[in-house]
Structure 1
């Protein structure tokens, strides 16, 4: 038996948070995922974290000689945007090194988040 896809009017509505992070060490997508998971678990616990519906959609690396900058997009449930935004500034260190996360903006689609907040060039895709 084939599984049926949930109709669009019954699906949870999503919002996309664009962020940037500066760190002392280079960060990868897996590092960002573990930081968000650990920080939201510390702040809200397992049940609260599951209600947020956090998901790291995409991460772009911008290596510079002095600093390691990462920009990315995370997805969360529409009703939990404020709680998801509260997780971002609580991430302050990773593997004993300092990390600073900032929210760039909130969008309803991935495309709008990329064009308005990430501001990629066509060659960076």
Structure 2
């Protein structure tokens, strides 16, 4: 079977999506893909979400920081961004998503928007609510362990 001529092939755009969550969040690529499809389907309906053709090309989430590369059709970038914005959690685990940028190739997407690795999280012991607690520190933000959950804090909360 012959390949389609270049002018008949589908044109793609790649969204670089930054992901933030609590340090103990465990989400995989397939779960992210499934919930992204559901978000698009709930927002636009079956036919329009099929037009988006959202596919997660790359995914990584470690210690609450990560990224995803999402492929969509060239003419559907705005709707794809809206579908990503509708995704706020997976299986009860909260996620913060931000589209860092859009590119025409996977390589350019990785180099331009995902090239600089975020600062590695640091673990410290802090005094919070009158007691010593462990905290994961990222960019001046503290995720303090309180009972079996986390509480978000900044350096100003400890002075």
TM-score category by the smaller chain? 0.7 to 0.9
1:70 to 2:66 alignment: yes
- What do the CA deviations read for 1:2-54 (whole angstroms, capped 9, x no partner)? x2221111012111100011223122111110121110011011101111121
Match of 2:101 among 98, 101, 105: 105
| TM-score, reference length from structure 2 | 0.68
Q: Which has the higher contact order (CA 8 A, sep 6+)?
A: 1
1:21 maps to what in 2? 19
Root mean square deviation, CA, Å: 1.4
TM-superposed CA distance for 1:120, in Å, is: 5.8
Q: Which runs of 5+ in 1 are unaligned?
A: none
> Contact 1:20–1:102 (CA<8 Å) still a contact in 2?
yes
- Looking at structure 2, the residues matched to 56 and 16 of structure 1 have their Cα atoms a distance apart, in angstroms, of 9
2:34 maps to what in 1? 34
More helix by share: 1
1:8 maps to what in 2? 6
2:83 maps to what in 1? 87
More strand by share: 2
- What do the CA deviations read for 1:86-107 (whole angstroms, capped 9, x no partner)? 1111111211221111101000
List, as ranges, runs of 4+ consecutive aligned residues in structure 1 with deviation greater than 2 Å: none
Could you say which structure has the larger radius of gyration? 2
Q: Secondary structure at the match of 1:88?
A: helix
- Looking at structure 2, the residues matched to 85 and 97 of structure 1 have their Cα atoms a distance apart, in angstroms, of 21
Q: How many residues align?
A: 115
